[in-house]
A = this chain, B = another copy of it.
């Protein structure tokens, strides 16, 4: 039996706990350490025998962890954490601030290359498997257009934005693709679709007693970037109803490419996800890319990578022979 790949997790929130569950589904991987910014004694890890280490002592794990999965946020955690950990370990992260990916890639690449590590950035489903499907489909059908739709699913960012409005106790926001836009995307007419045409937003809000509901609704609908470009519906519900019916984190969506070949033959490639738990699915993607990062590093392929650079076979626990026989 070959040795298991030793995984560490930085953070212990929703995605990190999803990583822990995903590792348990992969017999060739084992969770060895959780790195936390909190007091390590306050973090109770479900898996037995896992070391909990303070972020300040992360360097003490070098040589003991094969791949570190960074479960920090893109806004404030990863810009520093990414390069910092790439200097110490092979890493995986889910950096998703699209506009900053080029500079983040450079920073991680420098740290990883200088220290002989392999770091795969922006792993998950978007960026991640959605990106892969945009790339494959565009390469196959260069004469075409692609469309990405998200939902029906909970957007944490939009839910948080509503929660910050005075008078709001709690809120959940669903992003919903517009059926007519999906049909137009597949039609072959290659339409240009506006933000408003592609998605609607539906909000379930538990307000404080005596709150001005009309004012809350207006504030939501007029909020720039988050809601003003969308047709938004607001439902006021009790906190109990919010808990009972809206406490899961479903998400999903689809990438469509519509393209032409020859004398106008039309083709549609579609990749769809329908997910009960956004953080657990994201975690499952991170975990199979950890396997790939370790294998690349063993072959001496160091530096920053994205999902675009990873040969698919490296994600699987199966041998090339098995894959050709069972899945090709």
Contacts and interface: CB of A to CB of B under 8 A. Distances in A.
Contact of A306 (B18, B21, B328): B328
B21 A262 contact: yes
A61 interface: no
Q: Is the interface of A mostly helix, strand, loop or mixed?
A: helix
A270 B284 CA distance: 16
Interface residues of A, number: 65
A43 interface: no
Interface string A130-148: 0111111011111100000
Interface string A17-33: 01001100110000000
A306 B285 contact: no
A269 interface: yes
A89 interface: no
A25 B328 contact: no
As for how many copies of this chain the complex holds, the number is 2
A312 B307 contact: yes
B262 A267 contact: no
A2 to B, nearest CB: 17
A315 interface: yes
Contact of A136 (B134, B186, B262, B315): B315
A136 to B, nearest CB: 6
A101 interface: yes
B266 A276 contact: yes
The CB with the most chain B CB atoms within 10 A, among A138, A139, A311, is that of A139
B269 A102 contact: no
Contacts of A271: 133, 269-272
B138 A316 contact: yes
20 contacts: A21-B262, A101-B325, A102-B324, A129-B269, A135-B327, A140-B285, A142-B317, A261-B281, A261-B284, A262-B277, A268-B272, A268-B274, A268-B275, A269-B272, A270-B273, A306-B323, A308-B312, A308-B313, A309-B312, A310-B312
Given A102-B324, A134-B327, A265-B281, 17 more contacts: A18-B261, A21-B262, A26-B142, A105-B324, A129-B140, A131-B328, A136-B312, A138-B316, A139-B288, A261-B277, A261-B283, A267-B274, A268-B274, A268-B275, A271-B272, A309-B320, A312-B312
